[in-house]
Structure 1
């Protein structure tokens, strides 16, 4: 009888060892291959966040975790609505996914709030200020099983570039969503630095997409140029802002490559596919049990690149300085519209 009990305990221990960590064992008997299910929650649909998602899957694939092989992806988009984001987060927790990938600050906050007591790690990307979003402490350490990558804007470099391109501009406008912690944080840094580059800052806060058109009209009547943040609500409505700005011949600067493609004049920004890939590689470490999310400080890409749309410059009668043009990571000679 004792031998049977010991054998039973050994069998349980072996099973526990085989199933330790995230994911589920699969394949022939004795195989250690695991399958994973990840819920991807994206706050809004626009180019930079789409690129994050694409890069995230590439990063996982590079680490041997491939959709259709050993990875099942559940993807949901909140359409820039906080209530929807909360419902998505709750649904992923109910589905008992192995991990939630949250793209953009509001989704990261929502996902962590839903998963923090359920033993489901959250890995985020495109979160401008994880500290302000209360996902990390001042030293970059996670506040729980949550980590990821920051898309903090290179604001100093952006201001330098705008001043070089528009030497006579005086008033710089920014529209932002007052409920997005990432945007509030960026506005504070612009307020601190704008004067150093001879700009008077004019800001317009909005609360929803419905506010964009009127806020754009007000802002364009007051400023010489506009710069965008990575504000999800504003970026999702960027075509409306660009149409109004073009009518008034007011240059609009972007914060990343996709905004330049669709009609912003230029940007000192980051590559969101690269950012997503970096996030995917971090996520793979958590899924494989190599590290816990709570053991990994958030990361960021520190080197911005210059992107310019020469067609927009031509339409506005602006000459791109040779020093900037020659150092551009990518130039576009057309405006890409959907």
Structure 2
């Protein structure tokens, strides 16, 4: 073989090897680490929930499912730190502060009080806050608007279909005049929902009677008070009242006064019926929003989402205990539970 040809061939091989080395060196430190270890980033997400009750638990379950559907799976590339405030605002503050102190990548806040404490705690470090089950994020001062949140937080609203709920109540109780609502005086969501009920009540020939509570200890007396004035009660998505639902139901059942829920889990736990949203689906929507943020989308431009559809759920046992029948107008759409 010609010596000069050999020298050219060796030179080309050396040049190729040198370029390969340079290409390898051009990897970022993150890419280099991941290439060496064979792993992707492990995201840390804190989940703070104001209280333990089925609808909020469903929301949390749906959130985790929604993230998984978008490629963020527990134990694979994400870890969750779940904490409940057990209905205490001070505890919610402590949880939010601890999440921020741990420099989590994202905070999921379920229900308005937890969302507000997480938003306040995370603002300085600009940790994204994704909320769920917040009926009025604007009134809660979590976003500038539903379309353009612009404040480092976004998520999903569980605003209830008030007119459908009143239409359902009228179908069950054609002679009823007064609908009672128990509510937490310090929860912005409840004020928004009551205003919606009051605005829609006349359309269905109802009068809304409201009684406020400030703490769990107020609920027994407030329930006695309102039951003396109304034909039925309808629940809001009010965490204080829902967490003490059995107290309300016990007193209402003794007087044979129907209590209508604001979502399916309340019906399963003893309310007569509801035209409410699916909290697992709401949580899944929330998880998918969180995934968009983790993938790099600007949280300030991600609109707050709601669930448009509601479903009618009726508790068959409660229906019988109250000596009521399922209205003919509701038979085709009602999902019966016991």
Shared fold (TM-score, shorter chain, > 0.5): yes
Q: Which residue of 2 aligns with 1:15?
A: 29
Q: Which residue of 1 aligns with 2:108?
A: 101
Tell me if 1:45 matches 2:52.
Answer: yes
Q: Which residue of 1 aligns with 2:203?
A: 196
Tell me if 1:147 matches 2:161.
Answer: no
Q: For the residues of structure 2 that align with 1:26 and 1:235, how far apart are their CA atoms?
A: 48
1:225-247 per-position Cα deviation (integer Å, ceiling 9, x unaligned): 00000000000000110011000
- From 279, 297, 303, the equivalent of 2:303 is 297
Q: CA deviation at 1:143?
A: 3.5
SS in 1 for 2:36: coil
Q: Which residue of 2 aligns with 1:286?
A: 293
When structure 1 is superposed on structure 2, of 269-278 and 132-141 the one drifting more is 132-141
SS in 1 for 2:137: coil
Q: Which residue of 2 aligns with 1:171?
A: 178
CA contact (8 A) 1:26 1:33 kept: no
Q: What stretches of structure 2 of length at least 5 have no aligned partner?
A: 1-20
What does residue range 20-99 of structure 1 map to in structure 2 within 5 Å?
Answer: 29=36, 31=38, 33-99=40-106
CA contact (8 A) 2:144 2:151 kept: no
Q: For the residues of structure 2 that align with 1:164 and 1:316, how far apart are their CA atoms?
A: 15
Q: Which residue of 2 aligns with 1:22?
A: none
Q: Which residue of 1 aligns with 2:119?
A: 112
Q: Which residue of 1 aligns with 2:237?
A: 230
CA contact (8 A) 1:137 1:143 kept: yes
CA contact (8 A) 1:134 1:143 kept: no
Q: Which residue of 1 aligns with 2:259?
A: 252
Q: CA deviation at 1:72?
A: 0.8
- From 298, 310, 332, the equivalent of 1:326 is 332
Q: What stretches of structure 1 of length at least 5 have no aligned partner?
A: 1-6, 19-24
CA contact (8 A) 2:171 2:329 kept: no
Q: CA deviation at 1:28?
A: 5.2
Q: Which residue of 1 aligns with 2:217?
A: 210
SS in 1 for 2:28: helix
Q: CA deviation at 1:119?
A: 2.1
1:128-184 per-position Cα deviation (integer Å, ceiling 9, x unaligned): 011111112245321411010000010011011111111000110000001111111
Q: CA deviation at 1:195?
A: 1.7
Q: CA RMSD in A?
A: 1.9
Q: For the residues of structure 2 that align with 1:26 and 1:55, how far apart are their CA atoms?
A: 33
Q: Which residue of 2 aligns with 1:122?
A: 129
CA contact (8 A) 1:26 1:35 kept: no
Q: CA deviation at 1:325?
A: 2.3
- From 309, 312, 316, the equivalent of 1:310 is 316
Q: Provide TM-score, normalisation by structure 1.
A: 0.90
When structure 1 is superposed on structure 2, of 44-53 and 318-327 the one drifting more is 318-327
Q: 1:138 to 1:99 in 2, by over 3 A?
A: closer
Q: For the residues of structure 1 that align with 2:74 and 2:147, how far apart are their CA atoms?
A: 30
Q: Which residue of 2 aligns with 1:268?
A: 275
Q: Which residue of 2 aligns with 1:180?
A: 187
CA contact (8 A) 1:270 1:301 kept: yes
SS in 2 for 1:172: strand
1:283-330 per-position Cα deviation (integer Å, ceiling 9, x unaligned): 0111121x12112010000111111111111110111112312212x2
